[in-house]
A = this chain, B = another copy of it.
Amino acid sequence: MNQNHFLDLFFNPKSVAIVGASRHRNTANYWLMANLLNLKYAGNIYPVNPNAAEILGLKCYPSVREIEGEVDLAAISVPAPLTLGVVKDCIAKHVKGIVIIAGGFSETGGRGQSLQEEIKRLLKENGIRCIGPNSLSPINSANNFIIGFGAAYKLPKGRLSFIFQSGLYQPRLDYLLNDMHINISKLIDLGNKMDVNETDALEYLKDDPETEVIAVHMESIAGDARRFFQLLKEITPKKPVIVLKSGRTPAGAKAASSHTGAIIKASDVVFDTALKQAGAIRVQGLDEFFDLAKVFEYYQPLKGNRIAIASFSGGEGVITTDFCYLNGLTLAQPSEESMKVLRTIMPPWEIPVNPYDTGVANQFVSTDTVSVYVDTLSNDPNVDCLAIQVGGPQTLITVGSQATLDRWTEYYIKAVQKGKRLVIWPLDPRNVKDMKDTLESHRIPVYPSAERAVRALGALYRYQTIKERV
């Protein structure tokens, strides 16, 4: 919440009109209202649809003008050509803010473009702020307010806020809310950025005490670029900002312009340099975007970059070491005290303790090597973080049972409690759901591969160096 900013109205409306609300469960518009009811959003909800008297037990209005109570926010989900009429109704009703969901505006050029300009002019004249068009916004987990096309039965509350340029997250809504295990504070989808843009969103989140991490997907800067980077510079020493900027290649830029009407003015090299100078963490694709969002949501930054690695094969240890180096992490040298213990989990000859090869060790050592390894290094002041590979019952016969996995989990949790940053990757993607659910319920992030696990830790350390630099 940031009551001094105009966007607060969009995240914390006391009342909302859903224009285009539907009774039909198999339509996207049905969920605009159903979600608010299912989640027990406490504000007033006014469905607007000239063809219904009641929707989901609430009185339905033929037009926004007919609503008796005050309307803080109108979410308009009617086809583009009908939107202008609804906007005029909203003006007449003195609605305070508007979200336009439909596409078919500036991104199409021609008629859509002029329609958008007409709406923009009208709203400006009447001092009404607007998100969109072509946007599904916002989500606020604090008050269970959501405008979304997919079913949402819970909003996992956390300290990370998302800014999207488009409904990219929308087909993943169910995954995001239920199984991605990234807890969120707020989400705003900006769409065509006719009025509200990335700078407004950053300004709001900058002073929002419920937001400690920001992840931004964008295709263009619609507002004042100088102000955007200035804001980033002010935010990044306090809150990590992850940026996925797409349309970074000529082909991508062209696609972006048809997608959200994004006009990409500067070259990507210029953008990239400016982002770096502003202390933002740039990512290249969606995998990295959500990977980093998770690690920053789970963990505070890494003060040191000394990592310990354990994998089921020495070969994977070497590959992982390469990735550590490329991500700014360095192999930890365990203390002499640790070494005394670690020597008890060696085969008849000495293998490296870092990266540690549990596959070889398990052939000769009857102790549970993984538990000893993690337990020992979780007490070692020379170790800042760990990346550990886990396997399920289907893997190496030496890995064993559910009891083993449970014991490992205990040691992982203890390591995190002792201040280590721990990341896990499984041997293979089969049957990992239970393990992932358990570990992530304890706020230990699981990544599909060593490469992605150490990339996340590397970002956690890189951010610390950014903080210190500023």
Measured CB to CB, the residues of A under 8 A from B are 26-28, 31, 79-81, 103-104, 108, 111-112, 149-151, 164-168, 170-172, 174-175, 179-180, 217, 219, 244, 246-252, 254-256, 258-260, 284-287, 312-319, 321-326, 330-331, 347-352, 355, 357, 359-360, 363-364, 391, 394-398, 427-430, 433, 448-451
Contact = CB atoms under 8 A, between A and B. Distances in A.
Contacts of A244: 319
A428 B324 CA distance: 27
In the A-B complex, list the 10 residue pairs whose CB atoms are closest, starting with the nearest.
Answer: A168-B315, A252-B322, A249-B325, A166-B315, A259-B314, A175-B428, A171-B312, A285-B451, A255-B321, A251-B325
Nearest to A79: B348
A287 B360 contact: no
A431 to B, nearest CB: 10
A165 B318 CA distance: 11
Contacts of A286: 316, 319, 449-451
Number of copies: 2
Nearest to A29: B363
A355 to B, nearest CB: 6
A28 B355 CA distance: 22
A59 B357 CA distance: 35
Contacts of A219: 315, 318
B357 A394 contact: no
Given A315-B164, A321-B249, A427-B171, A352 B285 contact: no
Contacts of A450: 285-286
A95 to B, nearest CB: 24
Given A348-B80, A397-B28, A252 B321 contact: yes
A101 to B, nearest CB: 10
A174 B322 CA distance: 26
A300 to B, nearest CB: 25
A329 to B, nearest CB: 9
Given A252-B322, A318-B256, A319-B286, A349 B179 contact: no
A314 to B, nearest CB: 4
A333 to B, nearest CB: 12
A28 B428 contact: no
Contacts of A170: 313, 359, 396
B165 A104 contact: no
Contact of A318 (B103, B252, B357): B252
Contact of A104 (B150, B314, B317, B349): B349
A148 B258 CA distance: 54
Contacts of A112: 349
Contacts of A287: 448-449, 451
Nearest to A249: B325
A383 to B, nearest CB: 15
26 contacts: A26-B397, A28-B398, A79-B364, A80-B348, A103-B349, A167-B359, A170-B396, A174-B394, A180-B428, A219-B315, A246-B319, A247-B318, A248-B322, A250-B325, A251-B322, A251-B324, A251-B331, A254-B321, A255-B321, A255-B331, A259-B357, A260-B314, A285-B451, A286-B449, A286-B451, A287-B449
Given A255-B331, A259-B315, 13 more contacts: A111-B349, A150-B395, A150-B396, A151-B397, A171-B391, A171-B427, A219-B318, A244-B319, A246-B315, A246-B319, A249-B326, A250-B325, A286-B319
A136 to B, nearest CB: 10
Nearest to A323: B285
A327 to B, nearest CB: 10
A235 B187 CA distance: 52
A359 B171 contact: yes
